[in-house]
Amino acid sequence: MELIGEITADRPLLVLAVKEEAQFLDTDLPILLTGMGKVNAATALATALARGPRPSGVVNLGTAGALRPGWTGTHIVGTVLQHDLDGELLAKLAGETCGAPLTLPDGGDVVLATGDAFIADEATRARLAVRAPLVDMEGYALASAAAVAGVPLRIVKHVSDDAGEGAGRTWRETVAGCARSLADWAAVNVLAYRS
């Protein structure tokens, strides 16, 4: 976890997983680098929000894999779900809903599947594509932490690769271009973001 800048109540907090995704951001807004994965993302954001003051909102910028053919570019996420948590089984065992999908108020109709597993095989990609067009490793955790803290969240993802075989290699090759696109999006849209 690395916090760059100071969180204030009158500005949004930018949240990204790794420095490679943030490399072209040119802003005086605070930036939180969480590290990869759900645990790192949730812990980092919850810690930053608990220390106070709370930002006016949180904007998660990051890369995502495309689960469906033809998905490219930058997308605002409307719903996040966990693809690596068997909520149905846990509901049967515990008698209550666990890990239900979360709807983001400022999002559109794009669904993002979040899990700690990097999707590097075609069978998993096809199974997940039924539920969502995009996949990442932090979105759901950030949405959950922000919801518990009562802070509005917007998730913006730029497609870095086609999830499946070769995705890890492709991400390394495309992350700089994705970071440039995310920085360009942020320059136009983040300052206009209000809770």
- Measured distance between the N- and C-terminal CA atoms of the chain, rounded to whole angstroms: 24
Gap between the Cα atoms of 1 and 143, Å rounded: 17
Query: Which one of 3.20.19.10, 2.60.120.1440, 3.20.20.140, 3.40.50.1580 gives the CATH number of domain 2-192?
Result: 3.40.50.1580
Q: What is the mean pLDDT of residues 80-105?
A: 73
Identify the band that residue 195 occupies on the pLDDT scale cut at 50, 70 and 90.
Answer: very low
User: What per-residue confidence (pLDDT) applies to 89?
Assistant: 52
Quote the mean pLDDT of the chain: 89
Q: What is the mean pLDDT of residues 62-91?
A: 85
Percent of the chain scoring above 90 in pLDDT: 72
Query: What's the predicted TM-score (pTM) here?
Result: 0.91
User: What per-residue confidence (pLDDT) applies to 156?
Assistant: 97
Q: What is the mean pLDDT of residues 62-70?
A: 95
Identify the band that residue 96 occupies on the pLDDT scale cut at 50, 70 and 90.
Answer: low
Q: Is the pLDDT of residue 86 over 50?
A: yes
Residue pLDDT, tens place only, 125-141: 999 999 999 999 999 99
User: What per-residue confidence (pLDDT) applies to 194?
Assistant: 45
Q: Where are the domains of the chain?
A: 2-192
- Sequence length of the chain is 195
User: What per-residue confidence (pLDDT) applies to 39?
Assistant: 96
